[in-house]
Amino acid sequence: MKLDNKTFINASTILIGIFTVLLVPFLLLYKFSNLQLYNYFLLFIISVGIIAIALIMFSFFLVLATSFMNEPKSLNVSGIIQFSFWIFRVMLLPFLYVIVKIFNLDKEQLDRFFIDYNNGVVKSTLKKVNNSRLILLLPHCLQNQSCGLKITNNINNCKRCGKCDIGSLAALSDKWGIKAIVVTGGTAARTELAKIRPSAVVSVACERDLASGINDVNSIPVIGVLNMRPNGPCFNTKVNIENIEQAIIQMLENSARQRELSAG
């Protein structure tokens, strides 16, 4: 799963450098200070700093190593992949977002790295689920703005006129026997997931919403598919239907057999 990791590498390098630079004055104070108690305090601060740098560097290299594994299952390292992703999401990612904001780096690229890395982890470690336990979560902006039909309550209210991708996605949910939900935002999405409690989710959104959503529902495996915004954000967006179907197939148990049945 080779990822677009430029912003991840840049932000991580800056973060390691900042921690290292902050540690140097404490090392100098410890070396030249004569007060024993003060020395102990400085030694504690230095130890914490060294441990922090070591953990950041460890997670940095672990994430890079696992992100380049093309066939992690064959290497029997799914546990390592899950561990590296947990370290990345919990320990490293919050600091990286701060660095990205301070140094004006590309936040969307970091979001994409996180989404792609998450997708790779889910695909390589997920236990396949039954179609009744898989949810297709869709943003309202996929619906054509001129359409007056209310599909947030029921996607099957769509007349499948072909003016937007909602009709194709509704047909896809019928084909694979999974529930499709259209939501108006992150709060509505979290509410629906808390109500339904699915075993897995295929979700469509922009970089920001997908990244925050994956973090918010970290107990549920999510494969995120980015929408396309030819008309700008949140307005008549599009999505690659083939990518959605591939994500569904990868999550479903006995998906090859189900596909044959669907084709028949």
pLDDT, residue 82, reads 82
CA–CA separation, 48 and 43 (whole Å): 9
| Residue 148 · residue 244 · CB < 8 Å | no
Q: Could you give the 3-state DSSP secondary structure of residue 111?
A: helix
Structure token digits, residue 147: 């359409």
Q: What are phi and psi of 72, to 5 degrees?
A: -60, -30
Residue 253's φ and ψ, nearest 5 degrees, are -75, 145
Q: Quote the CA–CA distance of 255 and 177 in Å, as a whole number.
A: 11
Per-residue pLDDT reduced to its tens digit, 216-253 = 888 899 999 999 999 998 899 999 999 999 999 999 97
For the chain, give the percent of residues with pLDDT over 70: 89
pLDDT over 90 at 41, yes or no: no
222: left (phi over 0), alpha (psi -120 to 50) or beta: beta
Average pLDDT across the chain, whole number = 86
Q: Residue 249: what are its φ and ψ, rounded to 5°?
A: -60, -40
Is residue 61 very low, low, confident or very high in pLDDT (cuts 50, 70, 90)?
Answer: confident
Between CA 60 and CA 18 the distance in angstroms is 15
> What pTM, to 2 d.p., does this model score?
0.82
Does the pLDDT at position 263 exceed 60?
no
Q: Determine the residue type at 248.
A: I
Q: Give domain 131-263's CATH architecture.
A: 3-Layer(aba) Sandwich (3.40)
SS3 35: coil
How far, in Å, are 67, 77, 78, 151, 198 from residue 74 at the CA level? 15, 8, 9, 42, 28
pLDDT tops 60 at residue 100: yes
Following DSSP, what letter does each residue of 139-193 receive, concatenated? Answer: EGGGS-TT-----SS-GGG----SSSTHHHHHHHHHHHT-EEEEESSHHHHHHHH
Each residue of 153-172: b (16+ CB within 10 Å) or e?
A: eebeebeeeeebbbbbbbeb
Q: How many residues does the chain have?
A: 264
pLDDT per residue over 20-40, tens digit each? 888 888 788 777 776 776 677
